[in-house]
Structures are given as structure tokens and as C-alpha cells.
A and B are shown apart, each in its own frame.
Chain A
């Protein structure tokens, strides 16, 4: 059993039941992977094809990371300052709010085209994700910010790109790609575990619970189960639908890995923008990246 997807004329992803790998199509003659994927899917191969699409996006921007070499200092969890975390929470708000806005449209479109299994997947997602758009706002409020105002004013570049992609997929002739978008975000969320949550909490004022949104969208939340349901929904889809799903998954993963969307590198500027929305006095430690860390009370 094999599944595959042409990423470009020079690269095809191929998945077996135990791995995914890159295949460079032969320029001439017979190469079975030059033709679009045919036939039914299976959970094992679909799992690896989706995993391969995400990993290939990472490889494209950051090269190979294999075995123990992945545990570089670059990959160690970092503790953002509270204002920096607030900026990132604004990103969480925008992507989760897009889920609330767009999933009902996607469900209706699947149902209208008679695709009951995909409609059921979307309906299940609507139920599972209900209220999650409020989590980032609650975290922002907990940090002492005017949450709704801050989230309306600040749109991190990566979140904006994800929302734009989701809107495009939801309105496409075939919205099947939305499954791949959801899978990419939920699978990537699983890469955040207790170490990442702990690192972020260390940068926040003591006693402040502002990691509700992160915990839900991490390996500590319900995303492991959601990822499994995405794989099963994809595997049960037609070959054309699976190609659309895995392609969208790859596109969403590229946004995650693309350093062009790292718009929070200028922490001084980010923190200044965020602090304008502070509602009540709460001591804030600014980022370690600043030459002279200072306590600010507004």
C-alpha cells in the first residue's frame, strides 16, 4: 500500500505504512509516482503522507534535522516576556477565531455536496473547538490587558497568513483542503509539551494563569485525539480529496516553518505596542533580549 503527492515537478512525497520519504521523479520513461495518486487510502499510509508533508515543509526551510542533532540550543524552549507572550496570544486568538467563523461554512459546503463523512468531520470539529476562540482572550485578560482591543489591533504575520490560507481553502471549489489545514495546525501543536508550557509560565508574573490556550493547543490538550480523527477522515476520502488535503497540510506547515513570518524579533517594538493595551497595573518584566531589563508598571 502506497500513497503519494507531487509537491513540485522535482519532488514527490511517498508514504508506506511505516515511513514517508522524498522521491525525485525520473525525467524520462516510466515512473509510477509521476501520475496523480490513485486508489483508496489507509490510516497507516495516510498518517505518513501527512507527516511527510509537514516534515518536508520543515526540511525546505531548515534543512535536515535527524536523531540527536535536533536537540540543539536553538530548539530549547524559551521564556518570552509577558508582553511578548501577549502578542503571541493575539495570534492564537486570530487562528482560533477563524476556526469559529469558517468551520460552519465548511460543514455546510460538505453537506451540500453530499459528502457526509467530511461534513461529519467538520461538525465534530465545531463541537470540539467550541469556545476555544475565547481562551486567548481570557489569557490576555488574566495578564491585565484589554483583551479584545489588543487582539483586534495586533495581528501577528504568521497568524494572518494562516487565516488567509484557511479562508482561501474554505471558499475554494473543493473545501477538502480545510482538513489538511486543521491537521497541520493540530499536529504541530502536539510538538508543544510540558517543557514548553513550563518555559512560558516562567516568563509570566507569579500566580497568573495565562496558558489556557497553549495547554489546549498542545500535547497536554485534546489535539492528540483530533489528529487521529483527521487522519481517519483523510484516509476515508477519495484520492483527489486526499491530494487536496495533503497539499493544504503542506501549505499550512510551510507557514509554520517560514522565517519570513517571524515578525516578533524586534521585541522592544512588540512590547511597546502590547503595553499600550494594559488595563491595570501589573509589574511586567520585559524580555531578556533587552540590554537593560526593567520593571514597568503602567
Chain B
């Protein structure tokens, strides 16, 4: 995926028209699909150009939900015959 993104970046730097389409929120998904990127229904991408007029963006990863928390004890006796003896 990173390689594909690098190709898109390179083309945007070299082709002003492509850059405009990529930065247009209404067209971004279509541009990505042209690169055979599978975009699930209901997901929309937006591309922001970093560093324009001194403005930079930081991306805050999604806040983890409790559903995604990992604890050991609830799995304890699943493997009844898995006897861990170090």
C-alpha cells in the first residue's frame, strides 16, 4: 500500500491536474480507486497538502475502544490440554 501511495504522491507532484483531483474531497476516492485501492462502502478519504502557508497537519489515530482491549485471563482454560511447563 505504501508503494501505491508513493506512486500517487509522485504523480501529484508532476501533474498539476492530477494533484487538483486528488485534493478535491469529492474526487479523492475515485482517484484512489483508479489505483485499484479497495475502499469499503461508507469510507471517504480526504487528502490534505502539508506545509502550505506554514500550516502542518498531525493525524490523531483513532481512540481505542474498550472492545479492543486485550486481557489474558479470559482465555485461560481454553486449551485444556495445553500444559505450559517451562
Q: State the A residues within 8 Å of B (CB).
A: 13-14, 19-23, 26-33, 51-52, 54-56, 58-59, 61-62, 64-67, 69-70, 74-78, 88, 91-92, 95-96, 99, 129, 132, 136, 156, 158-159, 162, 181-182, 184-189, 191-192, 196, 213-214, 217, 223, 226, 255-257, 259, 261-262, 264
Are B70 and A56 in touch, CB under 8 angstroms?
Answer: yes
Residues of chain A with a CB closer than 8 A to B37's CB:
27
Q: How far is the CB of B44 from chain A (nearest CB, A)?
A: 13
> In the assembly, what is the distance between CA of A55 and CA of B37, in Å?
31
Contact B85 A62 (CB under 8 A): no
The reply to whether A26 and B59 form a contact with Cβ atoms under 8 Å apart is yes
Picked from B67, B68, B73, B86, the residue with its CB within 8 Å of the CB of A95 is B86
Residue of B nearest to A187 (CB): B72
| Interface mask (B38-66 → A, CB under 8 Å = 1, otherwise 0) | 00000001000000000000110100100
Lowest 7 CB-CB distances: which A-B pairs, in order?
Answer: A58-B75, A191-B76, A65-B74, A55-B70, A70-B74, A185-B84, A21-B64
Question: A88-B81, A156-B81, A185-B84 given as contacts; is B74 within 8 A of A13 (CB)?
Answer: no
Q: Beyond A28-B5, A28-B45, is A256–B82 a contact (Cβ under 8 Å)? A: yes
B70 touches A21 (CB 8 A): yes
Which chain A positions have C-beta within 8 A of B68?
A: 21-23
**When the two chains form their complex, are residues A58 and B83 in contact, meaning their CB atoms are under 8 A apart?**
no
Cα distance A31–B2 when bound, in Å? 12
Query: Out of A20, A188, A261, which one reaches B84, CB within 8 Å?
Result: A188
> B80: CB under 8 A from chain A?
yes
Chain B residues contacting A88 (CB-CB under 8 Å) are 81, 83
Cα-based distance from A174 to B72 in the complex (angstroms):
27
Q: What secondary structure prevails in chain B residues at the interface with A?
A: loop
Q: B75 contacts which of A55, A92, A255 (Cβ < 8 Å)?
A: A55
Whether A257 touches B85, Cβ cut-off 8 Å, given contacts A21-B68, A21-B70, A27-B1, is: no
Query: How far apart are the CA atoms of A178 and B82 in the complex, in Å?
Result: 19
Residues of A within 8 Å of B14, CB to CB, are none
Does the CB pair B75–A196 fall under 8 Å? no
Question: Which of A19, A26, A158, A159 is within 8 Å of B61, CB to CB?
Answer: A26
Closest residue of chain B to A58, judged by CB? B75
Q: State whether A33 touches B61 (Cβ < 8 A).
A: yes
B23 nearest CB across to chain A (Å): 14
Residue of B at shortest CB range from A49?
B70
B79 on interface, CB distance cutoff 8 Å = yes
A27, B40: Cα distance in complex, Å: 12
Point out the residues of chain A lying under 8 angstroms from B74, CB to CB.
55, 58, 65-67, 69-70
Contact (A30, B72) CB under 8 Å given A78-B80, A262-B81: no
Q: Shortest beta-carbon distance, B80 to chain A, in Å?
A: 6
Q: How far is the CB of B74 from chain A (nearest CB, A)?
A: 4
Chain B residue nearest to A27 in the complex (CB): B1
Q: Quick one: given A62-B78, A191-B76, are A217 and B85 in contact (CB under 8 Å)? A: yes
List residues of chain B with CB within 8 A of the CB of A14: 64
Given A21-B68, A78-B80, A264-B81: A189 in contact with B86 (beta carbons within 8 A): yes
Residues of chain A within 8 A (CB-CB) of B59 are 26, 29-31
Chain A residues closer than 8 Å to B77, beta-carbon distance: 74-77, 191, 196
